[in-house]
Chain A
């Protein structure tokens, strides 16, 4: 499944990084601790988090994640958006909380 397909199936908004929407998703990782994501997320994962600052994009880029999903209607910081565009890694949004969107993503990837 690509990031674009995920945005449609999970009803996600796209804040930025549209050039990265055709990246293939390998799985998901849900966490708000940056070092845990750094240590354990796999490349191609979608990262579900409530962190909105620019360091999220530094990690997404270094780990070659496919996209970041911000939960509970969180808005990305201005420099996060900018970095997302530069790296072509989409920042997506949902009104759902982490448990709910993780469950949806899990089922979509499993099926």
Chain B
């Protein structure tokens, strides 16, 4: 099964709506609840990162026989140093985003902890692609 969603940078009102939709679908498919929980945490963080940092992005969700594969492809500033971005507590979020309680430098670590495999690739000035891979067994 394949699903596509669009995310607009700066649109915090709808942040999390893709995650919510994917969660519903996974529940309908009777996916193991602990796998749903992990996937939703990782996806939500990645979705919010597009809203907080990028101009816009697409989210592609593929539910396969043995795994769920989610690609988040954004057009945005990109990440100059991915290793640094993966560090707990490191954030480049704006003051207004931090005031909302985001931007604590926990997003990427949360994504890593809740994915079987997490791949982040980025090109400065173009954008970032995040792939979340979670086995269904």
Residue of B13, B102, B109 near A34 (CB, 8 A) is: B102
Contact at B44–A38, with CB atoms within 8 Å? yes
Contact at A35–B15, with CB atoms within 8 Å? no
How many residues of chain B have a CB within 8 Å of chain A? 24
Q: How far is the CB of A99 from chain B (nearest CB, A)?
A: 18
Contact at A35–B107, with CB atoms within 8 Å? yes
Residues of chain A lying within 8 A (CB to CB) of residue B113: 39
Residue of A32, A39, A61, A62 near B101 (CB, 8 A) is: A32
Contact at B100–A55, with CB atoms within 8 Å? yes
Chain B 91-109 per-residue mask, 1 if CB under 8 angstroms from chain A, else 0: 0000000001110101101
A-B pair count, CB < 8 Å, reads 60
Contact at B104–A36, with CB atoms within 8 Å? yes
Chain A 15-31 per-residue mask, 1 if CB under 8 angstroms from chain B, else 0: 00000000000000000
Contact at B16–A58, with CB atoms within 8 Å? yes
Chain A 31-57 per-residue mask, 1 if CB under 8 angstroms from chain B, else 0: 011111011000100000101011100
Q: A34-B100, A38-B41, A62-B40 are in contact. Are A55 and B110 (CB under 8 A)?
A: no
Residues of chain B lying within 8 A (CB to CB) of residue A39: 41, 106, 109-110, 113-114
